Amino acid sequence: MNDPAMQTLLGIVFGALVVGTIVAMIMSRRATSERLQKLAANLNQRMRAWWIMASIFVVSILLGGKLTIVLFGLTAFLAFREFVTLTPTRRGDHRALFWAFFIIIPLQFVLVASNWYGLFAIFIPVYAYIFIPVRIALAGESENYLERTSKIQWGLMICVYFVSHVPALMMLDIRDFEGRNASLLFFFILIVQLNDVLQYVFGNLFGRRKIAPVISPNKTWGGFIGGITSVTVIGALLYWTTPFGPLEAAGMSLVIALMGFAGDLTLSAVKRDLGVKDYSASLPGHGGVMDRMDSVVFAAPLFFHLTRFFYT
Amino acid sequence: MIDSIVANTARMICGCRARWIEPPIDTEPRVYYANHSSHLDALMIWASLPTPLRKQCRIVAAADYWLATRVRRWLANDVFKAIVIDRKNPSRANNPIDIFVKSLDEGDSVVIFPEGTRGAGGELQEFRAGLWHIVRRRPAQAFVPVWLENLSRVLPKGEFLPVPILSAVTFGSPVRRESGQRRDDFLDILRNRLDQLREVHS
């Protein structure tokens, strides 16, 4: 808490929440058309959920230790739950799913907590990927076998393996950055979520041409360019909360923003395929946990490995 | 108190959302009838009801299972206030229809699975005649269709460990028998009204 980097990041989060809440309140007072009223109502709902999510995240970071790992473990659990709910699984998948939920997910985060990088990096892509198809085959149902197996495997990859790379930042031994990994994790989450919010804001203000109208009608070139540019600048300004120099922090932020966009787009494609608008209704205004984590999933492993490769 | 805790915990584990087509405004005794595909079905209907309705809702429990241990007996008697039926020794005294009608007369609601046994979670099976026997004796009775979604995936038939898939309980508008309606027509209408809830999403 005495760390000035932490204080700054906290200040930004708090400031953004206050600004967002005030904007939402003004909008709902002034909204004239039905479209604007709807937008304002949704924004108010979103802000309420943001306050809760930000508080949980900040508290877990400040209390530190293993709590951040537990928080992301729970997030992965809830995300995988949404993914499996929307995926048509069959009777024969039941036991495999039980293993995935109660053995594989907890173990992946135990590996993070125990700093065992070697096994952490291959546990799901090798061992879970062998175990799941065998367990489903043993259940003896062959209908759509390949499809069912791949869906569960991909769900584990996206919701669990990729997400586990966020708390894994805690296990990196970064040169000249001892004991400050929590602020790097904070930086990462802040940039990912700011990128989301700014793409949404710029998209609503200047968005004209749609990038992928079929997959995700809300994504426009205006929002995309405005979002990644501003996030890259913010990241560069915050370089001193990370082990990076200003230019490197800008580069990292750019990678985070691009991967955030890629994750968002990919998981929107999954939603279209499954025929739903949101992954669930657990976060009012946002949709499900996966609707909030979609921009984290691809950015996390890239950010983790770039940091690990160049700074440890 | 304790029943609210049990209900909320059960709903959380099953990620269960309750939806009402027509939110209930009074505590008129109702017959909740639902599709049946999991051991969790009755429990989740009970857990999804708002507190005043839950307090008057009675679910049926088989004596051989629910009176077997102390914890189960406590759950059945003190938490669920279940109607415990001895299915091993059917007799005139424990005819389920009599018991249901008596509960309704006392102002309670009951939960009934008109398909009889648990299905695989796909098509609705034909309804047995139990609902008809009730409406013949209480013609003004309200019947509320309840569609249970995904509970067969949380705990399928024959499994004993649940998987935490999100589920939903959808309560439809009450159905009443129109005067002169015959047995098969009445049961068909009840069945259709339940089947229609399958399509409801929000």
**pLDDT digit of tens for each residue in chain A (312 aa)?**
678 889 999 999 999 999 999 999 998 888 888 888 888 888 899 999 999 999 999 998 888 778 999 999 999 999 999 999 998 888 889 999 999 999 999 999 999 999 999 999 999 999 999 999 999 999 988 889 999 999 999 999 999 999 999 999 999 999 989 888 999 999 999 999 999 999 988 998 888 889 888 888 888 999 999 999 999 999 999 999 999 999 999 999 999 999 999 999 999 999 998 888 888 888 888 889 999 999 999 999 999 999 999 998
Using CA atoms, how far apart are residues A181 and A185, in angstroms rounded to an integer? 6
What is the DSSP pairing of strand B167-171 with strand B142-149? Answer: antiparallel
Residues linked to residue B147 through DSSP beta bridges, in sequence order: B170
CB contact under 8 A, B166 and A280: yes
Judge whether B104 and B141 are in contact, CB under 8 Å: yes
- Across B55-75, average pLDDT: 86
> Which residues of A are less than 8 Å from B165 in CB distance?
81, 84-85, 89, 97
Using CA atoms, how far apart are residues A119 and B170, in angstroms rounded to an integer? 44
Using CA atoms, how far apart are residues A93 and A99, in angstroms rounded to an integer? 10
At A183, phi and psi to the nearest 5? Answer: -75, -30
- ipTM score here? 0.82
The alpha-helical segments, DSSP class H, found in B33-161 are 41-48, 51-55, 63-66, 70-74, 96-105, 130-137, 151-154
> Which residues of A are less than 8 Å from B153 in CB distance?
89, 94
Compute the count of residue pairs across chains A and B with CB atoms less than 8 Å apart.
29
- At residue B109, the 3 state secondary structure works out as strand
> What is the pTM assigned to this prediction?
0.90
Nearest CA in chain A to B14: A81
Tokens of A179: 């004991």
- Across B70-94, average pLDDT: 80
Judge whether A236 and A249 are in contact, CB under 8 Å: yes
Among A residues 77-116, those touching chain B with beta carbons less than 8 Å apart: 77, 81-82, 84-85, 89, 91, 94-95, 97-98, 101
Per-residue pLDDT at B202 exceeds 60: no
Give the pLDDT score at A42: 87
Tokens of A73: 């473990």
Using CA atoms, how far apart are residues B86 and B107, in angstroms rounded to an integer? 23
